[in-house]
């Protein structure tokens, strides 16, 4: 497998202000910097592991080549600074349809995290629109799971701004009995799909 070099980075999408690209080994310090201890308590299992060097390096060597998607770096075009990450991830648990059908179909988890100092500027919305477009056009996926804190109103509002349809029973609370991670017990699972 070739080494990752900045001139070999695979760009997934460009928006007005962002470059969305595959992660490279040099991104780890910046990812750690934008992930405050408070943020780390809320990260999903894969996102939390991405901050560990061994997992991070294995992830970028294998994830993109095997699945064709993953968690990507969000980089400001203007400065080249890594400000967050967003992308698609296979579900860590079995999916049970929320619409009363037996058809689980293709569903991916929509993941995102923007560093605290870069929030409330529209970067997450800009990035997620591009990620969803990639999911639809490149992977033919139209349904997603988003996890967010029950009291994370900005994140819930962001999901609403994506103009995606939500299914019946979409905001399912996760109780401590449903997760092996007590710190994520106060979260919601929100199922969204392209209209």
- pLDDT tens column, 73-125: 999 999 999 999 999 998 866 556 555 544 555 889 899 999 989 999 999 99
- The count of structural domains within the chain is 1
d(CA 58, CA 113): 20
> Residue 138 domain-assigned?
yes
Which residues span the domain enclosing 25?
6-193
Q: What percent of the chain has pLDDT over 70?
A: 68
Bigger pLDDT: 191 vs 16:
16
Look up the CATH number of the domain holding residue 66: 3.40.630.30
> Residue 95 domain-assigned?
yes
d(CA 127, CA 124): 5
> Residue 72 domain-assigned?
yes
> Residue 1 domain-assigned?
no
Q: What's phi and psi for 125, nearest 5 deg? A: -60, -45
pTM of structure: 0.80
> Residue 69 domain-assigned?
yes
């Amino acid at each position: 497998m070739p080494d990752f070099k900045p001139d070999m980075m695979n760009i997934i999408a460009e928006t007005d202000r962002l470059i969305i690209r595959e992660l490279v080994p040099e991104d780890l310090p910046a990812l750690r910097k934008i992930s405050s201890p408070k943020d780390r308590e809320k990260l999903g299992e894969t996102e939390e592991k991405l901050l560990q060097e061994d997992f991070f390096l294995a992830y970028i060597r294998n994830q993109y080549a095997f699945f064709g998607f993953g968690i990507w770096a969000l980089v400001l075009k203007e400065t080249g600074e890594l400000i967050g990450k967003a992308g698609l991830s296979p579900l860590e648990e079995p999916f049970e349809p929320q619409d009363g059908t037996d058809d689980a179909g293709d569903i991916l988890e929509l993941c995102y995290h923007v560093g605290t100092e870069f929030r409330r500027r529209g970067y997450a919305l800009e990035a997620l629109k591009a990620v969803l477009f990639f999911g639809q056009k490149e992977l033919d996926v139209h349904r997603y799971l988003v996890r967010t804190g029950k009291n994370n109103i900005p994140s819930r509002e962001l999901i609403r701004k994506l103009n995606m349809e939500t299914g019946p029973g979409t905001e399912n609370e996760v109780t401590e009995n449903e997760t092996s991670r007590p710190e994520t017990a106060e979260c919601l699972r929100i199922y969204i799909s392209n209209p």
